[in-house]
Chain A
Amino acid sequence: MSLLETSSPRPGPLRAVGAGRKLVALLAIGILVAAVPRPVVLAALTGIGLLALVLARPQRRDLVRLGAAWALAAAVTAGVQLVTADRAAALGSVLRLTALALPALAVMASTATEELLDTVLSAARPLRHLGVRPDSVALTAALTIRFVPELADTAARLRDAQRARGARPQLLALAVPLLVHALTTSEQVAQAVVARSFFDRGEPADGPSPDTDPALCARA
């Protein structure tokens, strides 16, 4: 299992637009929805979202998964509004959720995960002047992605061990050994990072190689 094996957007008009622009546009829509929740604005944004979604050509799998989440949220909110307020309020709430969900779905369906990750991480670059080193940010994200499968595996083994002793999987008995494992592993990873002089190499090369990438070497 890898966290990165998750998206394979199909080519389309929205696919060609940069991830940064799409994220900024999405943020702007979010602010508009929260700041000016008039029916006209919401309807217009829903229209734009629908158009974006058509241009994004989402896969059916994404459409179903996110559609179900949206339907649940819309049903709950509309139900609450119908009981506590009136039909207009319920309609307004559903329209708000739709105006947000459609463009969000369009962005997610038309952008590759790696591209989104690059964009989000490069947003940290201007923070360099505040002492945030871009290579540290990238290393942290890479290490997290690398160790999630490993930690999930450990969690599964801990649960199996509990079942073997005839106990139902307990939260406390999972969390404590998992954390102790994570903290001990983090010490080994830190030593691996230092041993490879990660911070002494100046400007990072084009990409991590299996010889120098601590994320790949730490468990070797």
Chain B
Amino acid sequence: MSETVRARAIAEVALMAGVIIVLGLVPPLYVLGLPVPITAQTLGVMLAGAVLGARRGGLAALVVLVLCAASLPVMVGGSGGVGVLLGPTGGYALGFVPGAVVTGLAARRALRLPPRTRGVGLVGACLLGGVLVVYALGIPWTAAVTGLPLRTAALGALVFVPGDLLKAVLAGMAALLVHRQVHVEQMRELVLDDEARPRA
């Protein structure tokens, strides 16, 4: 790997990890005028995959988990530490990495779709990676840590599903808008009539 490519990969991963952390720290926001404020950390994870792709997106999520394990206040609301990862919701945090990877794999395919269906594809990628994969890890983890039956843990998680579905839709839309403005090489080739300019 050339020096420039390596440096760019490191900078992208580091800055995206920063975005995931910051989206978890900002006070809850409103979505499309709805009166329910939601926090945005999982949104950041889906965006990491959908914008940077499987490899760098997954690494960005991994950096957040490593900093969390080192007791830095990087998770939602400024919590952090091994206690968070080992606690009842730790599986959802550990699901960040495979979640971002799967989102990235699906998003790369979605970006090759014709412009009309591209947005739908990106939303689908975020649903698959950011919701399905994260819950597939989070629910059994909650069951294992608390001793609840798997079914009860799954029922409890249902409370968060509407919010997460909404976030997946938003993340897909946001990823589409970002890809229109900035060209991310590893995700797609630059075409001639592209509005997104190369960054260098």
A residues engaging B (CB < 8 A)? 3-4, 6-7, 23, 26, 30, 33-34, 37, 66, 69, 73, 77, 80-81, 84-85, 89, 92-93, 96-97, 100-101, 104-105, 107-108, 111, 113, 116-117, 119-121, 136, 139-141, 143-145, 147-148, 150-152, 155-156, 159, 168-172, 174-176, 178-180, 182-187, 189-191, 193-194, 198-200
Which residues in A have their C-beta under 8 angstroms from that of B154?
none
A218 and chain B: residue at smallest CB distance: B11
A171 touching B51, Cβ below 8 Å? no
Q: Quick one: which of B1-52 are within 8 Å of A by CB?
A: 3-4, 6-8, 10-19, 21-23, 25-26, 29-33, 38, 40, 43-44, 47, 51
A3 touching B26, Cβ below 8 Å? no
Main secondary structure of the interface of B (DSSP, over half): helix
Which residues in A have their C-beta under 8 angstroms from that of B136?
none
B19 touching A182, Cβ below 8 Å? yes
Given contacts A172-B173, A184-B182, contact A141 B146 (CB under 8 A): no
Alpha-carbon gap, A210 to B50, bound state (A): 35
Verify if B105 is at the interface (C-beta below 8 Å from A). no
Which residues in A have their C-beta under 8 angstroms from that of B177?
172, 176
Alpha-carbon gap, A144 to B174, bound state (A): 22
CB-contact partner of B22 in A136, A141, A155, A169, under 8 A: A155
Q: Quick one: which of B63-93 are within 8 Å of A by CB?
A: 63-64, 66-67, 69-74, 79, 81-83, 86-88
Alpha-carbon gap, A96 to B177, bound state (A): 45
B145 touching A96, Cβ below 8 Å? yes
Which residues in B have their C-beta under 8 angstroms from that of A198?
7
B68 and chain A: residue at smallest CB distance: A120
CB-contact partner of B19 in A89, A101, A121, A178, under 8 A: A178
Alpha-carbon gap, A30 to B26, bound state (A): 31
Which residues in A have their C-beta under 8 angstroms from that of B71?
6-7, 108, 111, 113, 116
Count residues on chain B whose CB falls below 8 Å from chain A CBs. Answer: 68
B32 touching A170, Cβ below 8 Å? yes
CB-contact partner of B87 in A69, A193, A199, under 8 A: A69
A179 touching B43, Cβ below 8 Å? no
Q: Quick one: which of B135-157 are within 8 Å of A by CB?
A: 144-149, 152, 156
CB-contact partner of A189 in B11, B25, B51, B182, under 8 A: B11
The 9 closest A-B pairs by CB, nearest first: A104-B83, A143-B14, A186-B11, A189-B11, A117-B70, A193-B7, A190-B8, A190-B11, A116-B70
Quote the shortest CB–CB distance from B70 to chain A (angstroms). Answer: 4
Q: Quick one: which of B156-200 are within 8 Å of A by CB?
A: 156, 170-171, 173-174, 177-178, 181-182, 184, 199-200
A171 touching B170, Cβ below 8 Å? yes
Quote the shortest CB–CB distance from A146 to chain B (angstroms). Answer: 8
Which residues in A have their C-beta under 8 angstroms from that of B73?
3, 6
A147 touching B15, Cβ below 8 Å? yes
Which residues in B have their C-beta under 8 angstroms from that of A7?
71
B184 and chain A: residue at smallest CB distance: A183
